[in-house]
């Protein structure tokens, strides 16, 4: 046996035993890219969160937890956190509830359900920035379609209108968030509804249960894992809102739509307070991580009970 044949035989024997070297070679590119584009920025932002740096100076000053203390004492950050929570809870709860109702209607055999599914799913595959620009034009004061429609119906639009109104601006942004999210939720709900055996509904009907009773005692309990999953996913996704607010309102009027993601962007790329922005990013990470742990606890307990 030649030397090359012995090496090949040894490599094949080693891989038959554990495939360690083959797995390492296959995974190495993905691990390296993940480390460069995810792990390193994460650790570096943690380092910057305890420093004072403008992004240009060669020197960085160590400030300990001062950046985090400044966030706690900042009224602007507390306002942004409150707006973000308000947006997140509204989009998650209203989006999931509306999705469930529409999915049940689509699953009931309504005529043209494929067309409805396409219409509801279109916002999911539409660019968020493009959708935000279209919504901003729809809400343009005076000439926007919202104002034109209200005037045609004999209703006076609010003054100041929509995105310039402190009462309406956040509601419009929430509406766009729900509109973008609802198609994805409907697809997941439809998959769950079609897996419920029809025998359950037939037996309940024989026992005299009406539509509401079947929905309450059969549909809701059997799709509750899907509901929980969608609520958690909606909360995580909504908490990271940035692009819609940036395009439609830029945080205005008077900070009523200023979310944490937009505030972080301003601190980092307008005011060049990279230490404060990094600390803000870690606060967002901690909140999202806590929500993920809640999800893991709920699903872990449910799977353990099955």
Q: What pLDDT shows up at residue 12? A: 66
Q: What pLDDT shows up at residue 148? A: 87
Given a contact cutoff of 8 angstroms between Cβ atoms, the answer to whether 176 and 135 are in contact is yes
**Which pLDDT tens digit goes with each residue over 156-209?**
888 777 888 888 899 999 999 999 999 999 999 999 998 888 888 888 888 888
Point out the least confidently predicted range of 14-23, 138-147, 235-244: 14-23
Residue 2 pLDDT more than 80?
no
Q: Is the pTM of this model over 0.75?
A: yes
Q: Would you tell me how many other CB atoms lie within 10 Å of the CB of residue 199?
A: 8
Residue 304 pLDDT more than 70?
no
User: DSSP label at 163?
Assistant: G
Q: Give the side-chain half-sphere CA count within 13 A for 33.
A: 5
Query: Which ranges of 240-273 does DSSP label H, i.e. alpha helix?
Result: 243-248, 260-269
Q: What is the per-residue DSSP string for 273-294?
A: -HHHHHHHHHHHHHHHHHHHHH
153-179 burial by CB neighbour count: b if 16+ within 10 A, else e? eeeebeeebbbebeebbbebbbbbbbb
What number is the average pLDDT over the span 96-117?
85
What number is the average pLDDT over the span 222-249?
88
């Amino acid at each position: 046996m030649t030397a090359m044949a012995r090496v090949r035989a040894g490599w094949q024997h080693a891989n038959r035993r554990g495939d360690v070297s083959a797995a390492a070679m296959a995974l190495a590119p993905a691990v390296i890219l993940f480390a460069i584009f995810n792990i390193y920025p994460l650790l570096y932002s943690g380092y910057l969160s305890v420093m004072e740096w403008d992004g240009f100076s060669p020197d960085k000053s160590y400030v300990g937890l001062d950046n985090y203390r400044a966030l706690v004492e900042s009224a602007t950050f507390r306002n942004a956190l409150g707006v973000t929570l308000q947006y997140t809870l509204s989009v998650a709860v209203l989006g999931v509830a509306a999705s469930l109702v529409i999915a049940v209607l689509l699953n009931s055999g309504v005529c043209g359900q494929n067309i409805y599914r396409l219409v509801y799913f279109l916002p999911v595959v539409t660019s968020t920035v493009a959708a935000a620009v279209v919504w901003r034009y729809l809400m343009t004061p005076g000439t926007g379609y919202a104002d034109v429609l209200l005037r045609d119906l004999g209703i006076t639009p609010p003054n100041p209108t929509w995105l310039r109104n402190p009462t309406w601006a956040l509601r419009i942004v929430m509406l766009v968030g729900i509109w973008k999210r609802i198609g994805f939720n409907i697809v997941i709900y439809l998959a769950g509804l079609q897996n419920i055996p029809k025998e359950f509904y037939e037996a309940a009907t024989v026992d005299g249960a009406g539509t509401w009773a079947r929905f309450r005692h059969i549909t809701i309990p059997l799709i509750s894992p899907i509901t929980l999953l969608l609520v958690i996913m909606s909360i995580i996704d909504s908490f990271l809102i940035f692009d819609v607010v940036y395009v439609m309102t830029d945080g205005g009027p008077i900070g009523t739509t200023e979310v944490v993601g937009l505030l972080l962007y301003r601190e980092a790329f307008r005011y060049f307070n990279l230490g404060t922005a990094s600390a803000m990013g870690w606060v967002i990470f901690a909140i999202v991580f806590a929500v993920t742990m809640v999800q893991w606890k709920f699903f872990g307990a449910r799977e353990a009970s099955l």
